[in-house]
C-alpha cells in the first residue's frame, strides 16, 4: 500500500463566520444566531453559517433565511462582513505559515499542513500548539485532524467537530475510515451517494472490497479515487499557494462576477504589478500560478512552469490568462483573483550564464 510518508495537520475553524461575529458581539454567546448573505432582506437570502446553538434546530449553511426563521423564529441574523472574516483568516494563515511547513489554505477557514519529515510525537505537539494559539491568541474555536493523507486528515477533522482534536496513527487509518459512510468522504455528494446505494454500497468498507472497474464505470476517474481511499491510499497533494521564493499579487473584484473580460482586466493589472515587483528586485521567474477564489470561498489554483526564465509582464499575462480560463465557469461567481511567480533566479546570475 502506498502509505504517505508524513502526517497532514488539517485545521477547520468552527462555525467560522459566526465565531468571528461572536468576537465583537459577545452578548450572543449561547444564543442561536446565523450569519446571512450580505444583500439579504427578510424574504431573500440564505444562511451562510449558523452557530452550534442554532444548528440544534437543524439550521445550516445554504438554508433560505425564511426556512431558518420557521425552525427558530427568534433567530438573530447578522449580515455577512466578508472583509472582516478575510482579515481574521489572514491572521490565522500568517500564524500557521510561521511554523515553516508547506501549507495550503484550502478555503477561508481551512488549512492543510504537510509535516513530512517530522516525528510523530512532534507532529502532535505542534498541532496542539497551533490549536492553543488559535484559541488563546485569536480567541476562536477550531478543530484539528491529523492523519497520513490530506483527505484522511480532513475526515478526522470533520468527525471531531466542534472544538475537537483527533490524531489517527498511520496504521489505524483503515480502521478509522472503514466504518464511516461513503458520504463522509469529502466530495461525495447526494448524487454519488445515491448511485453507490443502488449498488448496496453504504459504508467505506463496502467500497474497499468493490470491483474497481465497476466503480470507474459508475463514477469515472472519481470511482478509482474513492476505491483507493477506501483501501487507505490517499494521493491528494497539498497545493501550497505560499512559497517563500515567490512574488505575487491578489485582489478582490469590485463585485462577484463570472464576466471573463472583467476577470481578465484584473488579471492584467495584477500581472503588471507582479512583473514590476520582479524587475525591481532584479529577478527572473520560471513558474506561474493563478488563483481564483469563488463566491463561496472555494479556492482553485493552477500552476505552469515555463522552459525558460523571464521577467516579462506580457508573458506573465498571456500564460496566466490561459491558466485561468478553465477556472471561470458559467454558473460560479468569482470573488478574488491572484497571480504569483516562483522558481526565481537573480537576473545577474543569468547574465553570467549566457
Q: Which residues bind ligand TTP (CB under 6 A)?
A: 12-17, 48-49, 61-62, 108-109, 161-162, 296-297
State the minimum distance, in angstroms, from the CB of residue 35 to Mg ion. 12
Q: Is 221 left (phi over 0), alpha (psi -120 to 50) or beta?
A: alpha
Q: Is 241 in the site for Mg ion (CB under 5 A)?
A: no
Nearest residue to 292 (alpha-carbon basis) of 338, 237, 241:
338
Neighbours of 266 (CB within 10 A): 21
Nearer to ligand TTP, 190 or 352 (CB): 190
Q: Which does 279 bind (CB under 5 to 8 A by kind): ligand TTP, Mg ion, none?
A: none
Binds Mg ion (CB under 5 A): choice among 10, 12, 223, 241: 12
Please state the closest distance from residue 61 (CB atom) to ligand TTP, in A. 4
Q: How far apart are CA 301 and CA 250, in angstroms?
A: 12
Annotated catalytic residue 110: yes
Joined together, the cell numbers standing for residue 294 give 469563488
Q: Are strands 283-294 and 334-342 parallel, antiparallel or unpaired?
A: antiparallel
Cell numbers describing residue 61: 449553511
Q: Which three cell numbers stand for residue 149?
A: 493523507
**Where in 104-163 is the site for Mg ion (CB under 5 A)?**
109
Shortest Cβ distance from residue 37 to ligand TTP (Å)? 8
Taking the least distance from each CB to ligand TTP, the nearer of 63 and 344 is 63
- Nearest distance from residue 139's CB to Mg ion, in Å? 16
Binding partner of 287, given Mg ion, ligand TTP, none, CB within 5-8 angstroms per partner class = none
- How many chain residues touch Mg ion (CB under 5 A)? 4
Instruction: Pick the closer one to ligand TTP by CB: 108 or 344.
Output: 108
The answer to whether residue 234 forms part of the interface with Mg ion (CB under 5 A) is no
CA 63, 64, 69, 74 torsion-angle sign: positive
User: Which CB, 37 or 258, lies closer to Mg ion?
Assistant: 37
Stretch that binds Mg ion, among 14-22, 73-81, 185-193, 255-263 (CB under 5 A): 14-22
Neighbours of 197 (CB within 10 A): 13
CB-side neighbour CA atoms (13 Å) of 224 = 6
Residues 143, 255: Cα–Cα separation, whole Å: 32
Nearest to 238 by CA among 9, 1, 2: 9
Q: What angle do CA 94, 101, 115 make, to 5 degrees?
A: 135
Stretch that binds Mg ion, among 9-17, 66-74, 183-191, 262-270 (CB under 5 A): 9-17
Cβ proximity to Mg ion, 52 vs 202, nearer residue: 52
- Torsion, Cα of 302, 297, 253, 90 (10° steps): -90
CB of 221 to Mg ion, least distance (A): 28
Please identify, using beta-carbon distances, which residue of 185 and 275 lies nearer to ligand TTP: 185
21, 102, 104, 110: the catalytic one is 110
Choose which of 7, 16, 176, 227 interacts with Mg ion (CB under 5 A).
16
Cell for 202? Answer: 453504504
List of residues 6+ apart from 81 with CB closer than 8 A:
21, 38
CB of 227 to Mg ion, least distance (A): 28
Binding partner of residue 17 among ligand TTP, Mg ion, none, CB cut-off 5 to 8 Å per kind: ligand TTP
By a kind-dependent CB cut-off of 5 to 8 A, residue 34 interacts, out of Mg ion, ligand TTP, none, with none
Specify the 3-state DSSP secondary structure of 269: helix
Binding site for Mg ion (CB under 5 A): 12-13, 16, 109
- Which positions are catalytic? 110
Amino acid at each position: 500500500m502506498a502509505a504517505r510518508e508524513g502526517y497532514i495537520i488539517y485545521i477547520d475553524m468552527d462555525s467560522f463566520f459566526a465565531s468571528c461575529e461572536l468576537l465583537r458581539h459577545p452578548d450572543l454567546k449561547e444564543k442561536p444566531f446565523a450569519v446571512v448573505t450580505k444583500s439579504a432582506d427578510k424574504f431573500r437570502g440564505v444562511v451562510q453559517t449558523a452557530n452550534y446553538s442554532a444548528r440544534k434546530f437543524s439550521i445550516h449553511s445554504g438554508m433560505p433565511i425564511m426556512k431558518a426563521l420557521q425552525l427558530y423564529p427568534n433567530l438573530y441574523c447578522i449580515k455577512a462582513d466578508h472583509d472582516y472574516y478575510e482579515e481574521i483568516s489572514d491572521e490565522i494563515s500568517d500564524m500557521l505559515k510561521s511554523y515553516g511547513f508547506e501549507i495550503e489554505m484550502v478555503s477561508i477557514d481551512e488549512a492543510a499542513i504537510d509535516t513530512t519529515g517530522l516525528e510523530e510525537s512532534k507532529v502532535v505537539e505542534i498541532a496542539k500548539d497551533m490549536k492553543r494559539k488559535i484559541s488563546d491568541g485569536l480567541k476562536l474555536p477550531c478543530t484539528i485532524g491529523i492523519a497520513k493523507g490530506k483527505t484522511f486528515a480532513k475526515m478526522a477533522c470533520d468527525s471531531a467537530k466542534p472544538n475537537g482534536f483527533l490524531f489517527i496513527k498511520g496504521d489505524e487509518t483503515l480502521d478509522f475510515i472503514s466504518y464511516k459512510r461513503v458520504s463522509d468522504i469529502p466530495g461525495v455528494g447526494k448524487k454519488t451517494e445515491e448511485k453507490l446505494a443502488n449498488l448496496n454500497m453504504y459504508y467505506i468498507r463496502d467500497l474497499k472490497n468493490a470491483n474497481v472497474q465497476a466503480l470507474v464505470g459508475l463514477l469515472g476517474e472519481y470511482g478509482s479515487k474513492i476505491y483507493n481511499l477506501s483501501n487507505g491510499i490517499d494521493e491528494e497533494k497539498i497545493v501550497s499557494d505560499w512559497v517563500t521564493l515567490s512574488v505575487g499579487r491578489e485582489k478582490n473584484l469590485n463585485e462577484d462576477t463570472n464576466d471573463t473580460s472583467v476577470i481578465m482586466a484584473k488579471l492584467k493589472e495584477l500581472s503588471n504589478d507582479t512583473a514590476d515587483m520582479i524587475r525591481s528586485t532584479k529577478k527572473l521567474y520560471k513558474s506561474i500560478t493563478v488563483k481564483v477564489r469563488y463566491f463561496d470561498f472555494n479556492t482553485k489554483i493552477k500552476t505552469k512552469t515555463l522552459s525558460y526564465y523571464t521577467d516579462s509582464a506580457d508573458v506573465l499575462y498571456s500564460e496566466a490568462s490561459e491558466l485561468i480560463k478553465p477556472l471561470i465557469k458559467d454558473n460560479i461567481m468569482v470573488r478574488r483573483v491572484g497571480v504569483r511567480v516562483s522558481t526565481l533566479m537573480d537576473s545577474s546570475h543569468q547574465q553570467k550564464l549566457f
